[in-house]
Chains A and B, each alone.
Chain A
Amino acid sequence: MKHFPPPSVETPPAAGGADVHAKSPSVQADLRPEAPTKVRRTIKYESERVKGFGREVMAVPGCDQLVRCIQCGTCSGTCPLSVYMDHSPRQIMALVRADFKDEVLRSNSIWLCASCYACTVECPREIRITDIMYALKQRAIKERMYPKRFPIPVLAREFTNMVSKKGRITETLLVMRLFMKANLLAVLSSWRQGIGLVRTGRFVLRQERIEHSAELAAMLATTDTQAEPAPKNNQEAA
């Protein structure tokens, strides 16, 4: 939970060396925060923990090393998206271990993960953080706990639908479906991209598909009938 005053003053490099800090007097703003009429009480009770959640996440293959996390913060330090997350990757790991399932699955953090694997490669405990993020994404989708009309999980869902049915994706069609489902207005702001794609011949409207799509569908369906892998006993420590 970040309780910091106004966002940092990040300025783009000014062309011609103009003093980017100068503001004209007419827009001199009063930067003081609003009076706190409402205060929020933040305390976590044991009853809010979903006991076993952490163990379940760690039972996913590759995620068992989480038990050795020393909360060093290297993952957050190297993650390019951590500055946008409501909980940094390190905080997510702490919350997972402490069984605060709701906090974790409702956060935007897991969706902002771009799977760049920088954290996984840098972690001094060799914890596969990206894989844990994937496991959390899967869980959030399975339990329908992701933010409403949030483009990222919507994209994931549309992607899988298209692949499951057609075997391949056609990017332009996928993006159009995403806009329709998540944010129709965004189409308007992306008109330049659309025109550019047409101009450069990258705008494909014909749906790519495979020949044996029924076969693929049958293959994917076999996983529905199989039992979930049993959670491993994670008692052994370092």
Chain B
Amino acid sequence: MIYSYFPGCSLKGLGRAYEESLLPVMRHLGVELVELEDWNCCGATAYMSVDERKACVLAARNLAIAEKAGPHDLVTPCSACYLVLNKTKHQLQDSEQMRATVQTALDTAGLTYAGNTPVRHPLDVLVHDVGLDVVKERVVRPLTGLKVAPYYGCQVVRPYATFDDAWNPTTMDRLLAALGAEVVDFPLKTKCCGASLTGTLPEAGLRLSYILLKEAKRRGADVIATICPLCQFNLDAYHDKLAKRWGPVRIPTVYITQLMGLAFGIPAEELGLNRCFVPMEPLPAAPAPAPA
């Protein structure tokens, strides 16, 4: 299986552990991710706050590059990129004016946009294309006894709930179960982590992260699994500030792909697990290998 791959700025920066774990895990499952050539920033929520048409052009350039790259679906792990690219596709579908604006812009670079490249999330690809049976087969080190709270965040399930339910998504839950982990019931799984407000308006943003960590811990989770680099950062990097304002709550937050890598037997260093502020405890002693 081959997909085009749009990492997004964060996966090369603060969220590099996501890419570091995503690529080997996908390779392990026989999925090839081909990075788009000279992709640009999707614009995230910031560009949309300033100029809608420019934001659309920015995102459309990537979609056009993806179209040029071949008839493969485009996989994008970062939630914000996933949302922006899908939203742009919808905007271009619904508005003739926007299509014209974008085409005029793309013309200067000799690119075209036809709108036939689906933008997918790795969770979608893992559960629906690769399939949980295949994932289960590749597990050599089941995560038995590890209690994981699956945290989806907002932008992967809202407003476009294309591959999972907006209120109670279960793709990550099922994936974790396939890895052998114990999935903790976590009703806050789609509540906002505070996004960029944790930096710009900490009083508001940090509290949202705090509520998530507190409740995950209260429900007995050992670790929180995420699929968004900003969520991971927010839940991982501010424990000191949270402790000062509201109280100590220490629980590691990792990417789902990192857990997958561990289950597949890939060494922790190769998965970027050393990049967590709050390190994850090593897995309990490996049980006897499952019979072949």
Contacts and interface: CB of A to CB of B under 8 A. Distances in A.
B48 A134 contact: yes
B237 interface: yes
A130 B14 CA distance: 26
Instruction: Bin chain A's interface residue count.
Output: 35 or more
Interface stretch (A42-50, A90-98, A216-224): A216-224
B286 interface: no
Instruction: Bin chain B's interface residue count.
Output: 35 or more
Interface stretch (B49-57, B125-133, B138-146, B250-258): B49-57
Q: Binding site of A, secondary structure by majority: helix, strand, loop or mixed?
A: helix
B67 to A, nearest CB: 16
A155 B106 CA distance: 27
Contacts of A34: none
A15 to B, nearest CB: 7
Given A12-B246, A222-B104, 15 more contacts: A60-B52, A134-B52, A138-B50, A151-B200, A152-B197, A171-B13, A182-B200, A200-B274, A201-B274, A208-B12, A210-B40, A215-B108, A216-B61, A222-B101, A223-B57
Interface of B: 9-10, 12-14, 16-17, 38-41, 43-54, 57-58, 61, 91, 94-95, 97-98, 101, 104-106, 108-109, 154-155, 158-159, 161, 166-167, 191-192, 194-197, 199-201, 203-205, 208, 214, 237-238, 240-241, 246-248, 274-277
19 contacts: A14-B247, A60-B52, A81-B192, A118-B192, A121-B166, A134-B52, A138-B49, A151-B200, A152-B201, A163-B47, A168-B9, A169-B13, A171-B9, A182-B200, A196-B277, A200-B276, A210-B40, A222-B57, A223-B57
Interface of A: 12-15, 60-62, 80-81, 84, 112, 114-118, 120-121, 128, 130, 134-135, 137-138, 141, 151-153, 155-157, 159-160, 163-164, 167-172, 175, 178, 182, 189-190, 192-193, 196-197, 200-202, 204, 208, 210-212, 215-216, 218-220, 222-223, 226, 229
